[in-house]
Structure 1
Amino acid sequence: MKLEDLISLMKRRRADGLSYSYDRFRVDPAVALLRWPDDALEQFLYDHGDNAAFVDDYGSIDLREITWRLETIPAAAFHGMPTGASDAGCIEEFAENPVYWVGRRPREVGLHWEEHGPWLRPPILIDRHFLDPSDNGLQVVEGRTRVGVLRGRVREGLHVAPHHQAWVARP
């Protein structure tokens, strides 16, 4: 199953607007078949499953082959971690002004960074092997702002935890 196989579901979701809630989406038979954790399902499919650029970047992946794991990753590993080709450079843009981007979020996001040093919601990463069998490492799928803020906070000497959790798609 690939993103294109979910086009009719995504069209229904968009057509119904707010009435097509995440709870309704997650129990659709096609989606439930994946057995993904809610956080990964919401950030990957519900939020972006029909975004043209997202489909360009991740449309070749067989979604049934993904196993999600909540992993703890050193903060340093996020430096230089790429995102999809359609969003190349955006992490660096967010990193240029981390205080601004945190300020655009609810107050508890900023407080959490100050008090604890990581993000509130783990971002979505993918093993680059899915995209190119000869490649390795991880790529940011969703959470580009969060990763940019982390990079910017490190650069500016602001509080950052040494490790952060992320949902990682593995074969």
Structure 2
Amino acid sequence: MNLNDLSSLMERRQDGGLSFERFRADPALAALQWPDDVLRDFLFDHGDNGPFVDDYADLDLSTITWTLETIPAAGLHTMPTGESDAGLIEHFAQNPVHWVTVRPLEVGRHWEDHGTWLRPPLLIDRCLVDPAGSGLQVLEGRTRVGVLRGRLREELHVASEHEAWVGRSQAGTTERPH
């Protein structure tokens, strides 16, 4: 199953006929068994975004397992994103204070109190996108990762580790503690 296989579901969502609860209950998604955060951020919010679909259309969604992992801040400092959004993370990093202030107040409070994002971004094992690739890639959460990079550069409070949903091939997945 790939993003194009879900086009009729995406059309119903676009028409405003599907709340997230109805979307996630659709039989087409039952086999995925993905966490709600991942379903919402990956498929519900971006599953029909043209450039996003271009970057990830060939992913076999049914082979991806998602785990909540702890990622060192240093590992996020140079992590790439999809080809269509090249440079976007650095755009957000140029003014991290602005990108936090245009979000709900609790987002800014969380950065100040905890030095991290309120909601974990989605990262994907690059070998799922490019068989020769290695490491992780930002799938969704480019603003959050950009804010982190900008805060590091501006020497604002940043935690040493951050939670992120990480998608890996089921064949290469090992159980990780949450």
Question: TM-score, length-normalised on structure 2?
Answer: 0.94
CA distance in 1, matches of 2:132, 2:86: 20
Shift of 1:47: 0.4
Moved over 3 A (4+): none
Corresponding pairs, count: 169
1:115 aligns with 2:113: yes
| CA deviations over 1:114-170 (Å, ceiling 9, x no partner) | 001110000000000001111101000100000000000000000000000000000
Provide the residue aligned with 1:168 in structure 2: 166
Q: Which residue of 1 aligns with 2:99?
A: 101
Aligned to 2:59: 61
Gapped regions of structure 2 (runs ≥ 5): 170-178
Q: TM-score, normalized by length of structure 1? A: 0.97
RMSD (CA atoms): 0.6
Q: Map residues 1-171 of structure 1 onto 2, 5 A cutoff.
A: 1-15=1-15, 17=16, 19-171=17-169
2:34 is paired with a residue whose SS is: coil
- Secondary structure of the corresponding residue to residue 140 of structure 1: strand
TM-superposed deviation, 1:32: 1.8
- Gaps spanning 5+ residues in structure 1: where? none
Greater helix content: 1
